[in-house]
A = this chain, B = another copy of it.
């Protein structure tokens, strides 16, 4: 038996996925979850609270953080595998609903301070991990010292945010090609010549190593 709280959130997610938070009624959630109208308010004080819980970005980013923590080896490989992680995430159609709702959360963050907080918190955690990688890379001499870690972390996160939107909008994003370009950008612009040599890919700025998973573009 599933906990009622998460049954409600699952149902809310399923409903919001299609029509958005605001076109989803508590009646919809009741129907979808099997929980009664009254019970809804045993777990959440208001519908807004359900939205806040749904939009909480912290959980979404936890997966990335955890995976990154595992890969705490070579910082440069860590950065490159981050791109793989996100690339794989873009391909994972099973998480499409969560991503749709996540984007709605990004818009809701404009009006709800609570949602804003959770979005910023999720963002910051991921960025902190990226910054740590970059700075370690600079310490080991693999990443050029003049690179602004803070700015680069924002740019990387921003790029993935935008790509997620494009994918979810149904655009025919060629993930493999995008991954190749991003890797190319990082390698050519951020790595020191020594680090490039170590990767053994000096001559080809756009190595063909990103495609890995089977594709099924619409």
Write the nearest CB–CB distance from A153 to chain B, whole angstroms. Answer: 10
Q: Is A110 a contact of B169 with CB atoms below 8 Å?
A: yes
Chain B's closest residue to A170 (CB) is B116
Q: Is A180 a contact of B163 with CB atoms below 8 Å?
A: no
Q: Is A178 a contact of B154 with CB atoms below 8 Å?
A: yes
Chain B's closest residue to A21 (CB) is B22
Q: Is B169 a contact of A119 with CB atoms below 8 Å?
A: yes
**A interface, over-half SS:** helix
- Among B110, B159, B165, B166, the residue within 8 A (CB) of A168 is B110
A5 to B177, CA, bound (A): 43
Known A20-B111, A116-B169, A147-B181; contact A162-B152, beta-carbon cutoff 8 A: no
Determine the chain B residues whose CB is within 8 A of the CB of A120 once the complex forms: 169-171
Q: Is B104 a contact of A110 with CB atoms below 8 Å?
A: yes
Q: Is A169 a contact of B107 with CB atoms below 8 Å?
A: no
CB-contacts of A167-191 with B (<8 A): 168-171, 173-174, 177-178, 180-182, 184-185, 187-190
List residues of chain A with CB under 8 Å of any chain B CB.
18-23, 100, 103-104, 106-111, 116, 119-120, 123, 144, 146-148, 150-152, 154-155, 157-163, 165-166, 168-171, 173-174, 177-178, 180-182, 184-185, 187-190, 205-206
